[in-house]
């Protein structure tokens, strides 16, 4: 994939001086249009060999364009905080909002390449990581982002000469480190790994451009025109960037589904409830202090019918936890800041580190529930959301997070009773709104959406627990018991394994 970037491309001074002002003016005009419309963000990845001109190119873009609407994110080895979260967490946090250009100096490709060169990552694991990256980039594009990926290439001899030239110049000598020369020794291995990665991630929605880095003037104009053409084409494209990625939902032919099959008559009397509550709260308190829990995080996702008792269930969970150990994230309509980012961004930013608990009161499932039913997003958005959510939860699981998801279901009769009670009790009135009453008229649409959600996102690593919530006592105990059982299923086998390993 690098043949055309070893041909010795060059631009003479006269040609560069004639072309540079045109490219700069057009880039500024496109950048201002991007900022004014704020319809999409630009994600620009700068990758390649040492000495290929990555830093010079970034500096040049800051010179040619308005730096107020550029942001550069440099990624090296992950920090302790980043190591305790999924690999992609730090990249999610750095995504630019709509109307801005985010330049990634080093990206989600850097670490897998380094690991593979060192031999710490098998080829099959590398391919699995690249598949995840392809899906991530597809999600970015489906959310509206323009993704531009540049690989700066030098031949082996070209890289050696480049490093010598940089080292000789006092103004640039600091950029050449012992690691730079060490990486020259692994040049052939880098080309093998990078060639494989570029081939497997050269997708139609996010293709790679390989840029020869030998001649500064050629490299500058080449990158400038790549960025300019991509911006101009996207700004001029008025077509809907989204498209359905799944067939429409098949209509159900009977009234039996995962919700109607629930037995909502289950109850616990006061004495049994108090005994069970104390038992499971005590067990939960022990489990989150278990030494093995320091290797994991706990993510609790609460969804349910209006007035089903999510708040009461959450309070019974937090009563068993140290307030310094958990965070509750209430999810409402997205803010302007959140609308300027991909849908899952506002949830990624709250992912806990190891040994911590995050409780989501309403979740990322709003896209396939309220947004679907109320028409707040297009069909293409919520159809593809099932896959994106499954990918999100799988990545959390792979990093050691324990994801427990609850849907609290109540009958129409019980919901009506609770609505009327909330209107009568002064300190509960804030819980009832006109939207709650209006949503009762859409119960069939919401029920269909919930059933589709469970069918498509209840996975082996993040299954749904459906909670019969007509009786609050029963529901609260079931929630606590489920959390404890999930924690025990993860922590107990690890404890047994550690004991076995210590004996060997």
Q: With the CA atoms of 134, 139, 143 and 149 taken in that order, what torsion angle do they form, in degrees rounded to the nearest 10?
A: -20
* DSSP symbol at 67: G
Domains 3-236 and 270-498 agree in fold: yes
Homologous superfamily in CATH for domain 3-236: P-loop containing nucleotide triphosphate hydrolases (3.40.50.300)
On average, the pLDDT of the chain sits at 90
Q: What percent of the chain stands above pLDDT 90?
A: 72
Q: Residue 251 pLDDT more than 80?
A: no
Residue 495 has pLDDT above 80, yes or no: no
Does 197 score more than 90 pLDDT? yes
DSSP-assigned states of every residue in 347-391: HHTT---TT-EEEEES-GGGGGTHHHHHTSS-HHHHHHHHHHHHH
Question: Contact 137/205 with Cβ under 8 angstroms?
Answer: yes
Kindly list the strands in the beta sheet with 297-304, ordered across the sheet, starting from the edge strand earlier in the chain: 326-330, 357-361, 297-304, 401-409, 464-468
The domain covering 270-498 belongs, at the CATH homologous superfamily level, to P-loop containing nucleotide triphosphate hydrolases (3.40.50.300)
Model pLDDT, residue 163: 82
| Least confident among 12-16, 49-53, 96-100, 101-105 | 49-53
Q: Does the pLDDT value for residue 297 go beyond 60? A: yes
Strand partners, 72: 103
Query: How confident is residue 492, by pLDDT bands cut at 50, 70 and 90?
Result: confident
Distances (CA, A) of 291 to 42, 216, 253, 338, 486: 43, 55, 50, 36, 16
Q: What is the pTM of this model?
A: 0.84
SS3 322: coil
pLDDT of residue 158: 83
Which span out of 27-36, 151-160, 185-194, 439-448 was modeled with the highest average pLDDT? 27-36
Query: What CA–CA distance (Å, rounded) separates 147 from 231?
Result: 10
Helix and strand totals (H; E) in the chain: 20, 10
CB 443 within 8 A of CB 374: no
pLDDT digits (tens, 9 = 90+) for 31-44: 999 999 999 999 99
413/394 Cα distance (integer angstroms): 37
Mean pLDDT calculated for residue range 232-259: 73
- 406 compared with 461, residue with greater pLDDT: 406
Q: Please report how many Cα atoms fall inside a 13 Å half-sphere around the Cα of residue 343, on the Cβ side.
A: 24
Confidence of residue 247 (pLDDT cuts 50, 70, 90): low
User: How confident is the model at residue 6, as a pLDDT?
Assistant: 81
**Helices (H), ranges, 237-325:** 270-287, 310-318
Q: Is residue 21 very low, low, confident or very high in pLDDT (cuts 50, 70, 90)? A: very high
Range scoring the smallest mean pLDDT among 76-80, 207-211, 277-281, 483-487: 76-80
Window from 83-97, 174-188, 308-322 with minimum mean pLDDT: 174-188
In the predicted model, is pLDDT for residue 230 greater than 60?
Answer: yes
Q: What is the mean pLDDT of residues 79-106?
A: 94
Question: pLDDT confidence of 180, banded at 50, 70, 90?
Answer: confident
* Residue of 291 and 424 predicted with greater confidence: 291
Contact assessment for residue 454 and residue 462, using Cβ atoms and an 8 Å cutoff: no
Average pLDDT over residues 383-404: 94
d(Cα 501, Cα 428) in Å, to the nearest integer?
54
Q: How far is CA 358 from CA 154, 213, 258, 337, 398, in A?
A: 46, 46, 27, 21, 17
Identify the pLDDT of residue 50: 85
The percent of residues in the chain predicted with pLDDT above 70, rounded, is 93
Domain positions in the chain: 3-236, 270-498
Whole-number pLDDT of residue 260: 92
Tens digits of residue pLDDT in 424-468: 776 666 666 777 777 788 888 999 999 999 999 999 899 999 999
Cα dihedral across residues 152, 158, 162, 163: positive or negative = positive
């Amino acid at each position: 994939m690098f043949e055309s970037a070893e041909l010795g491309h060059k631009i003479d001074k006269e040609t560069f001086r004639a072309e540079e002002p045109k490219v700069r003016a057009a880039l500024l005009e496109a950048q201002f249009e991007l900022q004014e419309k704020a319809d999409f963000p630009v994600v620009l990845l700068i990758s390649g060999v040492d000495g290929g001109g990555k830093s010079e190119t970034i500096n040049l873009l800051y010179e040619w364009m308005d730096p107020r609407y550029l942001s550069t994110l440099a990624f090296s080895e992950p920090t302790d905080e980043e190591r305790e979260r999924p690999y992609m967490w730090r990249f999610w946090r750095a995504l630019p909002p709509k109307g801005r250009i985010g330049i990634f100096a080093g990206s989600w490709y850097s670490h897998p390449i380094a690991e593979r060169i060192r031999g710490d990552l098998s080829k099959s694991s590398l391919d699995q990581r690249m598949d995840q990256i392809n899906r991530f980039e597809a999600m970015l594009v489906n959310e509206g982002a323009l993704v531009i990926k540049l690989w700066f290439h030098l031949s082996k001899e070209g890289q050696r000469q480049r490093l010598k030239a940089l080292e000789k110049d006092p103004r640039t000598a600091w950029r050449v480190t012992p690691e730079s020369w060490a990486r020259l020794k692994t040049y052939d291995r880098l080309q093998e790994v990078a060639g494989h990665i570029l081939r497997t991630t050269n997708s139609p929605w996010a293709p790679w451009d390989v840029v020869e880095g030998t001649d500064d003037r050629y490299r500058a104009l080449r990158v400038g025109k790549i960025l300019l053409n991509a911006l101009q084409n996207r700004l001029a494209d008025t077509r809907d960037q989204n498209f359905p990625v799944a067939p429409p939902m098949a209509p159900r032919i009977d009234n039996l589904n995962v919700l109607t099959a629930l037995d909502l008559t289950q109850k616990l009397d006061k004495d049994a409830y108090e005994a069970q509550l104390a038992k499971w709260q005590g067990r939960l308190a022990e489990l989150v202090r278990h030494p093995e829990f320091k290797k994991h995080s706990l993510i609790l996702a609460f969804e349910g019918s209006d007035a089903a008792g999510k708040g009461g269930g959450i309070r019974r969970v937090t009563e068993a936890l140290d307030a310094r150990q958990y965070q509750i994230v209430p999810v409402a309509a997205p803010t302007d800041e959140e609308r300027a980012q991909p849908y899952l961004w506002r949830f990624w930013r709250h992912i806990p580190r190891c040994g911590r608990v995050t409780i989501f009161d309403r979740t990322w499932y709003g896209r396939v529930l309220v947004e679907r039913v109320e028409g707040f997003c297009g069909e293409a958005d919520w159809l593809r959301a099932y896959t994106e959510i499954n990918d999100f939860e799988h990545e959390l699981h792979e990093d050691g997070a324990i994801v427990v998801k609850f849907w609290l279901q109540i009958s129409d009769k019980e919901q009506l009773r609770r609505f009327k009670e909330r209107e009568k009790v002064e300190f509960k009135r804030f819980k009832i709104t006109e939207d709650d009453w209006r949503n009762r008229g859409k119960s069939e649409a919401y029920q269909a959406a919930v059933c589709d959600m469970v069918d498509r996102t209840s996975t082996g690593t993040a299954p749904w627990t459906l909670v019969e919530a007509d009786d609050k006592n029963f529901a609260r105990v079931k929630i606590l018991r489920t959390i404890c059982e999930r924690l025990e299923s993860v922590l107990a086998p690890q404890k047994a394994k550690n004991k076995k390993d210590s004996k060997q």
